[in-house]
């Protein structure tokens, strides 16, 4: 499993254009309307220059001026409408691209192995999909809006200037690219600051998520001031990185403006001398100065958005890192696991999360259908790891796990997991009604079946006491941890699985209710192979087989009475709880 390191990926820009290319109609519209905007804008100086020449050379000819003013108004109107349509197309491209990237990123999370989720902070992953995608969206929108019209403006004004006065136009073309070299130099040297900024922002999001989710523990240990100091330290680093990125990138705009203003001054000086010599008209000089201003404006605009663009590309690369992470190993075939009785076998299984630190070695186990297998041991002995292997959340390094004689790697994960009912120590309920949460695993069950399950799990009583009963929307604070666990138990009862996994399923429930639920579990486990991870040894005394694990190995195996008579590891654990 190498879900942590992404493979080598293509350039970020190429990846972005792949998403943009999904919307050819909007892209074509953006280019077309940008071309219309630029073309209409380029005719405005022509009309004004002709109007000035009309006044200075032949006196005020009102009919000619009136026609020129109408032409100017039409050109401005067309340019404004086309610019609005360009923005509309660009907004559609930007929103759709970010929607697609977010959709792919969220789908990717479902395809990633648990190793990736276990080794990456939740907050950082959330930051990539939410905050980084937002900043990328802003940068992409600015990029399309500025670069399309800017590039066409540059080409159009070059052509008009060379036609109007080749000598001065050539001077402008030669001098202005200096501003591009300045912009490129600054942008190249600010990339590292933007990368540091986005990484620190992800670290901050992860810390905030951790602090909020663990606020109760933080208050219990009076650790608020330490958390504040840690946050202030991360916040200070983010402030420093953001300041450096913004400061150095902001040098681009004044630098390019200086070069462009210098070009404008040269054009004005040479053009004025030509007017004095009679080689150039006043209207012609006005046109040329307007074109020189339009020509340099895109350079200023492009350099002005470099801050946004560099940050956007850095954010995009972080999203693509998530998209490029190695996915969970695909199912070897499309065979489904059906007609499961519950015969489970482990043969010479070896597994470890860190390949340099051995955990489970040469573990062999045979469980016949309908047996209740309890798994006990000290913390870190491998109990939950064994469950992960049974559910195929992780694949074994050596050996194999078999259900009904079939290697679980030869069947689809979905069909394997559909035959297991799993209740974890950590309760999880989605935002929705009680009814929706209960029917999560079996949407087609009837209300009568649902009521039967909630009564068996002793959840029906407190559900009826809620404001809207089974239609109460759960947002997080309505239920206690014990009540949440009862709902999770009822949810599993509704699925009627072939096999059960109970991982500390009653840890948040009081002893009296636990006894009642044990009866419900007993009925549920009748005829079903069950794996029970328990720290309260009183809950597994009736198990058909108890596995005592230590350092990834089964050190003892037998019934409750047999293991007590041995006086070994299980007896020590049991006497430690009840002595």
Query: Is the domain of 378 the same as that of 523?
Result: yes
Mean pLDDT for the stretch of residues 368-390 = 85
Q: Is residue 442 part of a domain?
A: yes
* Coil/strand/helix, residue 192: helix
60: left (phi over 0), alpha (psi -120 to 50) or beta: beta
Residue 274's pLDDT band, with cuts at 50, 70 and 90, is: confident
Residue 576's pLDDT band, with cuts at 50, 70 and 90, is: confident
Instruction: State residue 566's pLDDT score.
Output: 87
Query: Is the domain of 285 the same as that of 372?
Result: no
Last residue of a domain, one of 324, 352, 370: 324
Average pLDDT of the chain is 81
Distance CA 221, CA 218 (A): 5
CA atoms within 13 A on the CB side of 53: 16
List the domain range (segments joined by +) for residue 453.
Answer: 344-578
Query: Is the domain of 444 the same as that of 562?
Result: yes
For the stretch 135-150, pLDDT in tens is 888 777 777 777 777 7
Last residue of a domain, one of 324, 359, 392: 324
Contact (CB, 8 A) for 358 and 385: no
Please give the C-alpha separations between residue 189 and each of 193, 241, 243, in angstroms, as whole numbers: 8, 13, 14
Instruction: State residue 1's pLDDT score.
Output: 37
Cα 348 from chain centre = 39
188: CB partners within 8 A, 6+ apart? none
Mean pLDDT for the stretch of residues 550-576 = 84
Query: Is the domain of 151 the same as that of 275?
Result: yes
Instruction: State residue 3's pLDDT score.
Output: 40
Contact (CB, 8 A) for 340 and 419: yes
Residue 302's pLDDT band, with cuts at 50, 70 and 90, is: low
Q: Which of 411, 361, 395 is nearest to 2 (CA)?
A: 395
Q: Is residue 172 part of a domain?
A: yes
In the predicted structure, residue 117 carries a pLDDT above the cut 50: yes
Query: Is the domain of 478 the same as that of 437?
Result: yes
CATH number where 411 lies = 3.40.50.300
Query: Is the domain of 532 the same as that of 461?
Result: yes
Residue with the larger pLDDT of the pair 518 and 501: 501
Here the tokens at position 50 are 């002709």
Residue 5's pLDDT band, with cuts at 50, 70 and 90, is: very low
Q: Is residue 75 part of a domain?
A: yes
Query: Is the domain of 42 the same as that of 93?
Result: yes
Q: Is residue 235 part of a domain?
A: no
Query: Is the domain of 72 the same as that of 136?
Result: yes
Residue 77's pLDDT band, with cuts at 50, 70 and 90, is: very high
CATH number where 182 lies = 1.20.1560.10
Domain count, the chain: 2
Q: Is residue 462 part of a domain?
A: yes
Query: Is the domain of 264 the same as that of 366?
Result: no
E strand or H helix at 275? helix 252-277
Instruction: State residue 58's pLDDT score.
Output: 62
Q: Is residue 218 part of a domain?
A: no
Residue with the larger pLDDT of the pair 113 and 221: 113
Q: Which of 560, 562, 567 is nearest to 376 (CA)?
A: 560
Query: Is the domain of 307 the same as that of 356?
Result: no
Cβ-based burial of 390 (10 A; exposed 0-12, middle 13-18, buried ≥19):
buried
Mean pLDDT for the stretch of residues 198-202 = 83
What is the Cα Rg of the chain in Å? 35
SS3 readout for 39-81: HHHHHHHHHHHHHHHHHHHHCCCHHHHHHHHHHHHHHHHHHHH
Query: Is the domain of 380 the same as that of 268?
Result: no
Contact (CB, 8 A) for 291 and 164: yes
Residue 306's pLDDT band, with cuts at 50, 70 and 90, is: low
Q: Is residue 425 part of a domain?
A: yes
Q: Is residue 573 part of a domain?
A: yes
Instruction: State residue 78's pLDDT score.
Output: 93
What are the two backbone dihedrals, phi and then psi, of residue 406, each rounded to the nearest 5 degrees? -105, 130
Which range, of 60-69, 233-242, 327-336, averages the lowest pLDDT?
327-336
Cα 117 from chain centre = 12
Last residue of a domain, one of 290, 324, 358: 324
Instruction: State residue 81's pLDDT score.
Output: 94
In the predicted structure, residue 9 carries a pLDDT above the cut 60: no
Residue with the larger pLDDT of the pair 279 and 546: 546
Query: Is the domain of 299 the same as that of 402?
Result: no
For the stretch 412-458, pLDDT in tens is 888 888 888 888 777 788 888 999 989 888 888 899 999 988 888 88
Residue with the larger pLDDT of the pair 535 and 484: 484
Which range, of 206-220, 356-370, 526-540, averages the lowest pLDDT?
206-220
Instruction: State residue 304's pLDDT score.
Output: 57
Share of the chain above pLDDT 70, in %: 89
């Amino acid at each position: 499993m190498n879900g942590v390191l992404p493979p080598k990926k293509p350039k970020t820009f190429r990846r972005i254009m792949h998403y943009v290319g999904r919307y050819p109609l909007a892209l074509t519209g953006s280019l077309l309307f940008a071309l219309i905007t630029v073309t209409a804008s380029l005719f405005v100086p022509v009309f004004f220059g002709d109007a000035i020449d009309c006044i200075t050379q032949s006196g005020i000819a009102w009919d000619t001026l009136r026609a020129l003013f109408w032409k100017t108004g039409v050109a401005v109107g067309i340019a404004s409408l086309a610019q609005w349509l360009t923005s509309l197309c660009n907004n559609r491209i930007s929103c759709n691209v970010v929607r697609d990237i977010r959709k792919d990123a969220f789908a990717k999370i479902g395809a990633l192995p648990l190793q990736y989720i276990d080794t990456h902070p939740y907050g950082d992953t959330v930051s990539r999909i939410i905050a980084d995608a937002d900043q990328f969206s802003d940068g992409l929108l600015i990029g399309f809006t500025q670069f399309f019209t800017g590039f066409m403006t540059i080409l159009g004004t070059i052509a008009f200037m060379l036609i109007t006065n080749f000598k001065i136009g050539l001077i402008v073309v030669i001098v202005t690219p200096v501003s591009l070299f300045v912009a490129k130099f600054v942008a190249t040297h600010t990339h590292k600051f933007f990368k540091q900024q986005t990484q620190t922002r992800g670290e901050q999001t992860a810390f905030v998520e951790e602090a909020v989710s663990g606020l109760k523990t933080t208050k219990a240990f009076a650790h608020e001031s330490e958390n504040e100091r840690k946050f202030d330290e991360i916040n200070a680093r983010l402030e420093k990185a953001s300041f450096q990125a913004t400061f150095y990138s902001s040098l681009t705009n004044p630098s390019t403006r200086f070069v462009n203003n210098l070009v404008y001054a040269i054009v004005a000086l040479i053009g004025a001398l030509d007017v004095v010599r009679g080689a150039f008209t006043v209207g012609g000089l006005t046109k040329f100065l307007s074109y020189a201003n339009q020509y340099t404006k895109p350079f200023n605009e492009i350099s002005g958005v470099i801050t946004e663009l560099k940050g956007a590309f850095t954010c995009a690369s972080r999203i693509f890192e998530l998209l490029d992470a190695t996915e969970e190993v695909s199912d070897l075939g499309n065979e489904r696991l059906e007609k499961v009785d519950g015969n489970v076998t482990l043969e010479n299984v070896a597994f470890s999360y860190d390949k340099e630190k051995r955990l489970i070695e040469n573990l062999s186990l045979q469980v016949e259908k309908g047996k209740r297998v309890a798994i006990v041991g000290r913390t870190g002995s491998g109990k939950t790891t064994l469950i992960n292997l049974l559910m195929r959340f992780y694949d074994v390094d050596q050996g194999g796990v078999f259900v009904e004689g079939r290697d679980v790697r030869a069947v689809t994960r979905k069909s394997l997991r559909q035959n297991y009912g799993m209740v974890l120590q950590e309760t999880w309920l989605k935002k929705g009604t009680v009814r929706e949460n209960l029917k999560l695993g079996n949407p087609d069950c009837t209300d009568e079946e649902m009521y039967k399950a909630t009564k068996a799990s002793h959840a029906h009583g407190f559900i009826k006491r809620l404001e809207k009963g089974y239609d109460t929307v759960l947002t997080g604070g309505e239920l206690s941890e014990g009540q949440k666990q009862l709902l999770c138990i009822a949810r599993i009862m509704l699925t009627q699985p072939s096999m059960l996994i109970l991982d500390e399923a009653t840890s948040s429930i009081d002893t009296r209710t636990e006894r009642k639920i044990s009866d419900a579990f007993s009925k549920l486990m009748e005829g079903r192979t069950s794996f029970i991870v328990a720290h309260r040894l009183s809950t597994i005394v009736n198990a058909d087989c108890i596995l005592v694990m230590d350092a990834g190995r089964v050190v003892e195996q037998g019934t409750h009475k047999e293991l007590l008579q041995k006086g070994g590891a299980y007896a020590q654990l049991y006497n430690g709880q009840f002595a």
